[in-house]
Structure 1
Amino acid sequence: MQLYFVALLSPADIQREVTAFKQTALERFGSGHALRSPPHITLIPPFRSDRTDFTALQTAADRQVPFVVSLRDFARFGRRVIFVNVLPSEFLSDCQQQLAEFGYQTYGIEPDRRPFHPHMTVAFRDLTQAAFPEAWAYFSAQQYDRTFTADAFALLRHTGQGWEVANQFMFTGV
């Protein structure tokens, strides 16, 4: 069985900037696990499947219209995860809910029971409790303000070493 997840990917310039934040987390605070995936906003968290064909996801993308995503500064989950903050939006929440429902109805992917809190992870898992205060002091002092238009979501597949984009599904809704 293969491991997958579905996410929004930002344009290349924002990908480079957020990857640079991840690189800083590795070099300054010893947290590099986030570098194993491209910067993303998770819509359907990792799930296992023996399927190799997820082309029906285009049906869900066909129902979506492009929408603006706003990134502002940094936030955290407890004392272990630091991320680029994604501002809440009705369009983003609706996209996630509709996709989660589609994934369950079409592929039997169990929906995530946690509340949807969109973010782009910079440091987690291997960010130690000892390094967290200094890392949080550093990132919380940084200003970051970007927007982009989400016009597709991506299916990512785990390679055994990290995550790669398996397919992208363009939004075609009107």
Structure 2
Amino acid sequence: MESYKDFLMIISPPDEVIKQISKYKRASANKIGPFKGMHSIAHISITYQQRCKPFMADPFMARLENKLQTMQPAEIYIKNFKFFTHGTVGFTIYAEVNVMPPNHNWFKLLRKQMGITITIVPHITVLKNIPPSAFKKLWPYFENSQYEATFKANSLTILWRETFAEQHEWRPYKELFFGNRLMPF
């Protein structure tokens, strides 16, 4: 019997964006020291599904693939940095994905096609849940940085890992491409 799997669905930016975000992470580590996630690869998280039964995953992915093929690829615009607060205990600094039309409508359709009912804030995490002292050192640097990038989102990358495994390393599962096929009636 196969064990339960967790799935992470992401939009992967091109190598140039990954390299630039990595530079921001390394510069941050030089200022505050090592931090959790400093070696994670830049991506836009869309949704996370945990404890999925293996026999249900493949049929779900096939249905999702058909739905995503009805969506056009999208031009993604990244501009500058913002942050989330986690109460008084932490901050997450991220590269902002511009969600003005038409991107707002595209992400809304993506959520609908995937059955996601909560609103997501598309972003690329640079530093996740850092303490306030580290945030105070770093935020002026990010606030004054001028970062812009554009890329075409052609696919949704699905990563997986075993739910109860000791080593929780994400591995590629499937790439679902956005297409231009008309939605069936």
Equivalents in 2 of 1:133, 1:99: separation in Å? 35
1:120, CA displacement in angstroms? 0.4
Q: Percent identity, please.
A: 19
The root-mean-square deviation of aligned C-alpha atoms, in Å, is: 2.3
**Closer, same or farther: CA 165–31 of 1 in aligned 2, 3 Å:** farther
Rg: which structure is higher?
2
2:170 corresponds to which residue?
A: 163
1:156, CA displacement in angstroms? 2.0
**For the Cα contact (< 8 Å) 1:86–1:118, is it kept in 2?**
yes
Equivalents in 2 of 1:39, 1:30: separation in Å? 19
1:68, CA displacement in angstroms? 0.9
Q: How many aligned residue pairs are there?
A: 165
Unaligned runs of 5+ in 1: 105-110
SS at match of 2:125: strand
Task: Compute the TM-score of the two structures, normalised by the length of structure 1.
Answer: 0.81
47, 50, 59: which one pairs with 2:49? 47
Deviates more, 1:146-155 or 1:156-165: 156-165
1:73 equivalent in alignment to 2:77? no
Q: Which amino acid aligns with 1:172?
A: G
Equivalents in 1 of 2:34, 2:94: separation in Å? 12
**For the Cα contact (< 8 Å) 1:34–1:121, is it kept in 2?**
no
**For the Cα contact (< 8 Å) 1:22–1:32, is it kept in 2?**
no
1:34 corresponds to which residue?
A: 37
Equivalents in 2 of 1:112, 1:33: separation in Å? 29
1:123, CA displacement in angstroms? 0.4
1:134 equivalent in alignment to 2:137? yes
1:139, CA displacement in angstroms? 1.4
